[in-house]
């Protein structure tokens, strides 16, 4: 059984310890380590607001969008080079039959945290290589929560679910993977 010890350093101290796993048996490539040094440490919600109106409408448009509000330095125990990316995530229904608003933050670890902070202070923008995984993390967590809240409030879900249709199964074309 492998146990993670979060009290220890998050990154390798030597070639025998990795993420707190003693005796980690695999060699770590430098490129893999660089990828691991740029990662989401956590996605946290600070506020969740949702409402519904008792309206029945034939057609509803649903739009979900995140917005990065602020970026600041953050320290977590022994871990350094962490930035806290504050965000707002809003799911709106048109016509106005309800709304879900989620505020929170993403903890992002990056060895270039100082450059990220100075870039944010200068023009309030994040580099695409940093923004893309952060926004994907926000979408994943927030859409999951919004689906749950929409169900509780009897609102349409913010994403389309696959549906099973009665009928014969489609024939697979030869030589084409499904």
Whether the pLDDT of residue 120 is over 70: the answer is yes
Domains of the chain: residue spans and CATH: 30-152 (3.10.420)
Mean pLDDT calculated for residue range 14-25: 45
Q: Which residues pair with 63 in a beta bridge?
A: 92
Selected residue with higher pLDDT from 33 and 4: 33
Q: Is the pLDDT of residue 165 over 70?
A: yes
For the chain, state the CA radius of gyration: 21
* pLDDT beyond 60 at 33: no
Q: Is 84 helix (H, G, I), strand (E, B) or coil?
A: strand
For the whole model, what pTM was predicted?
Answer: 0.72
């Amino acid at each position: 059984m492998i146990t993670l010890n979060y009290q220890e350093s998050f990154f390798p101290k030597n070639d025998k310890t990795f993420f707190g796993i003693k005796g980690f048996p695999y060699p770590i490539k430098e490129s893999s380590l660089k990828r691991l040094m740029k990662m989401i440490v956590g996605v946290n919600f600070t506020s969740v607001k949702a409402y519904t109106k008792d309206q029945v409408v034939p057609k509803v448009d649903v739009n979900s969008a995140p917005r990065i509000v602020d970026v600041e330095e953050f320290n977590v125990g022994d871990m350094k080079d962490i930035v806290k990316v504050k965000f707002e995530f809003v799911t709106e229904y048109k016509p106005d039959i309800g709304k879900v608003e989620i505020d929170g933050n993403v903890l992002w670890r990056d060895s270039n945290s100082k450059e990220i902070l100075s870039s944010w202070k200068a023009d309030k923008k994040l580099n695409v290589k940093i923004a893309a995984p952060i926004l994907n993390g926000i979408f994943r967590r927030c859409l999951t929560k919004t689906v749950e809240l929409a169900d509780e409030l009897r609102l349409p879900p913010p994403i389309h679910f696959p549906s099973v249709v009665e009928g014969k199964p489609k024939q697979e074309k030869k030589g084409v993977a499904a």
